[in-house]
Amino acid sequence: MLTIGLIKEGKVPTDNRVALTPPQCKWLLKNRPDVRVLVQSSPGRCYSDAEYRQAGVTVTDDVSGCDILLGIKEVPIEQLLPHKTYLFFSHTKKKQPYNRAMLHTMMDRGITLIDYECLEHEDGQRIIGFGFFAGVVGAHNGMMAYGNRTGAYQLGHVYQHKDYRALIHTYFGLKLPNIKIAVTGSGRVAHGILEIMNLMDVQEVEPEDYLGRKFTYPVYVHLKGRNLYRHQVTGEYMREHFHHHPEEYDCLFPQFSTCTDILMNGTYWAEGVPRLFEWEHLLRDDFAIQTIADITDDKGGSIPCNLGDATIQDPVYGVNKRNREKTPPYLIDNIDIMAVGNLPNELPRDASRYFGEQLIKHILADLLGNGSDTLDRATILEAGKLTPYFDYLQDYAAR
């Protein structure tokens, strides 16, 4: 019999999401008699210990007897148990320096690491994640920031509402000014942004109309890869080629910056991918953007003026366009940035339910069975050693 453990989140600030909700654990126990589930006691989860107990799940402080440990964020070094299989968002695939010591410890302790972020379909699409709710919360926060800046309308914080359904009710009667919003990206984050655009009755328009027309109602344009990037020689956009050779492409977004009030950024970014704009663009007289919701939140990434994370309680800061320093938000000559690394924590129960559904539907059978190519491609460490799929991390993993 395999034992799965839901671990207590140890990273500070503590994440309140879970990989499996109490009803999902109950379903698992009923339908997989070969599986045992333990939940490590935690006061900070969006689902309480009592709710897990009511679902028939054992709650304990000791998960050392588990075979597979499911978390959300990075596990503190002192909490890593030797020779276990862990699943969590490790934030190591881009060689993030702040998690290098954690990877070294996992190697020393013979740990197998499967990263949720690397679980992909054959075409490269992510299988599970919290991206949709990151998009929902990020879009709401971006709209909230613009309302605070202009005084045209007012929105409260997402975390002040019980759940997603309660949040939606706050949009009834909301009247937005005649603004233009640019939405970038094509994954789950972008889908969450578009959900809020539709709920707020913002109308979609084509790129050419967005650039060339004025409207008497709020509109948004959805910019995907083919709208944002062009090969420097052929003038075309080829998705697969772009992902392998992004340095050969120019970004077309600056033309949209001249008529955009709010930018909702949902694009994936990695080293070599052209930024949406550069610092110099901020100083142009025709740069119109006042508020940026950088929902994918890469510091200094696709949004160069992302100076790092804000918090759920205080999600917006200003940036001085000339000296490039952080300021209080909503100052006239500055640009406002909404950048929060744990946006789904504002709707933790909804986000956890969605995440667990995808985990059960697409991953759990392989995880509890004989494995799969999908799992292999997401396994960064096997018993403490880098797998062939992550050979490129050799220098990062070296001492």
Q: Which residues participate in the annotated binding site? A: 212-213, 268
As annotated, the active-site residues are 73, 91
Question: Backbone phi, then psi, for 342, in 5-degree steps?
Answer: -130, 50
The binding site for NAD(+) comprises 212-213, 268
3-state secondary structure of 344: helix
Nearest CA among 24, 1, 19 for reference residue 9: 19
3-state secondary structure of 145: helix
Q: What is the rounded distance in angstroms from the CA atom of residue 241 to the CA atom of residue 245?
A: 6
Element (H, E) at 291: strand 291-294
**Length of the chain measured in residues:** 399
Q: What is the rounded distance in angstroms from the CA atom of residue 229 to the CA atom of residue 324?
A: 26
Q: What is the rounded distance in angstroms from the CA atom of residue 304 to the CA atom of residue 354?
A: 31
Which two structure tokens, joined as six digits, stand for 394? 């050799």
List residues bridging with 70 in a β-sheet: 6, 87
Residues 6+ apart with CB under 8 A from 85: 67, 68, 69, 111, 112, 114
Asked if 14 and 312 count as a contact pair (C-beta separation under 8 A), the reply is no
Which two structure tokens, joined as six digits, stand for 271? 């080293």
Q: What is the rounded distance in angstroms from the CA atom of residue 180 to the CA atom of residue 137?
A: 19
Q: What is the rounded distance in angstroms from the CA atom of residue 117 to the CA atom of residue 99?
A: 15
Residue 371, CB-side half-sphere exposure with 13 Å CA sphere:
9
Q: What is the rounded distance in angstroms from the CA atom of residue 241 to the CA atom of residue 246?
A: 8
- Tokens 């697969």 appear where? 240
Region for 247 from its dihedrals, namely left if φ exceeds 0, alpha if ψ lies in -120 to 50, beta otherwise: alpha
